[in-house]
Structure 1
Amino acid sequence: MKIIRLLWLIGAMCMTGLAIAEEVPALSRGQTLYLPIYSHVWHGDLDKAGVPLKSLVSALVSIRNTDLTRSIRVVSARYYDTRGKLLNEYVSASKTIAPMATYEMYVERKESAGGSGANFVISWQADVPANPPIVEALHADIQGHRTLSFITTARLLNTEDGLVNKP
């Protein structure tokens, strides 16, 4: 019995240590985020021409307001291809996300122009400092008994003014 209690105590201490080590993001009035997107995924062996197989994937972009009391606004969501060419602005007018709500954007599976190095540059703002949103993309290709799915996570970009200005 003492061994079980000791193991439980050690486990609890380890879990507490992990929780303490997790960095809590600072409140912010806005940020610019980089989100990797894959229009397709290269995989498998190379064929005789030296080219691997290619699977197209859709991407569901999820912008989750993690603030319990304050709304945030998505002011820009620019979609770029592998070469850095702007393909589309997904937010034509500012979108308000209520506390604990989510705003979604969808890139269809048939949209292959982005390539394997596509990305979103997403800018958000708040009137008062708020918890930064969690921004992820769920990529999927589900056909019959074959499923390919994975998630990418946005990263903070350092910009001179903290936001990417609209053209």
Structure 2
Amino acid sequence: MNYSSLILWVVSALLLLSCEQEVSETEYLPSENYNYTKVDFDVLEKRQKIYVPIYSDIYVFSGSKRFPLTATLSIRNTSFTDTMYVGKVDYYDSEGNMTKAYLDEPIYMSPLTSVEFVVRSNENIGGAGANFIVDWGAKSRTKNPVIQAVMIGESNQQGISFVTNGIVIEEHNNGSGE
């Protein structure tokens, strides 16, 4: 390979590398384009408050070191026909202090849609005893949504991931006396 061919090859390689788009971390975050709505939760026929355990970090090495995790809360409308409403998605730390309200007003979820909320591993809030409290409701006695959290983390070629399920801690059904 002569000198001019080498220069041409290097320039071509540099041009190709400069054409690659830089991808920001936020391009892979879930959409925050929620469908906001005005709805009076007190008149909804079915309402629940769901507790979802979150582990923003876990202890390793006999409890001497923390392993940071990213947590994704997933809310999935399981109905083929009914819209559901999410009124609150609040994040609490291990001491029971609310650290973040993810919604300013209720959102609606069409049938079979999903929404996500993320606690990044570098946020350093929550701890091993953190949780989300989710208030949801529907105009009819629809199927319960699936509300889960997925925690994932990696460090030094060590990875961990697991899922927690939300549990109903409060329920109201208008017209049933409950």
Q: Same fold (TM over 0.5)?
A: yes
**2:153 matched to 1:141?**
yes
**2:66 matched to 1:54?**
yes
Aligned letter for 1:39? S
Looking at structure 2, the residues matched to 113 and 68 of structure 1 have their Cα atoms a distance apart, in angstroms, of 36
Aligned letter for 1:109? S
State the secondary structure of the residue aligned to 1:99. Answer: coil
When normalised by structure 2's length, the TM-score is: 0.68
When normalised by structure 1's length, the TM-score is: 0.72
Identity %: 28
Q: CA deviation at 1:146?
A: 2.0
Q: CA deviation at 1:61?
A: 0.6
Q: CA deviation at 1:143?
A: 4.2
Q: CA deviation at 1:144?
A: 5.9
State the secondary structure of the residue aligned to 2:49. Answer: strand
Looking at structure 2, the residues matched to 54 and 143 of structure 1 have their Cα atoms a distance apart, in angstroms, of 11
Specify the alignment match of 1:70 in structure 2. 82
Specify the alignment match of 1:38 in structure 2. 55
- Runs of 4 or more above 6 Å deviation: none
Specify the alignment match of 2:166 in structure 1. 154
Question: How many equivalent pairs are there?
Answer: 129
CA offset digits 1:75-130 (Å, max 9, x no partner): 00111110101101111111111101101111111122211100011000111121
State the secondary structure of the residue aligned to 2:82. Answer: coil
Change (3 A) 1:53 1:143: closer
Specify the alignment match of 2:127 in structure 1. 115
State the secondary structure of the residue aligned to 1:33. Answer: strand
Aligned letter for 1:152? T
Q: Which moved more, 1:144-153 or 1:93-102?
A: 144-153
Which ranges in structure 2 are unaligned for 5 or more consecutive residues? 1-44, 174-178
State the secondary structure of the residue aligned to 1:70. Answer: coil
Specify the alignment match of 1:3 in structure 2. none
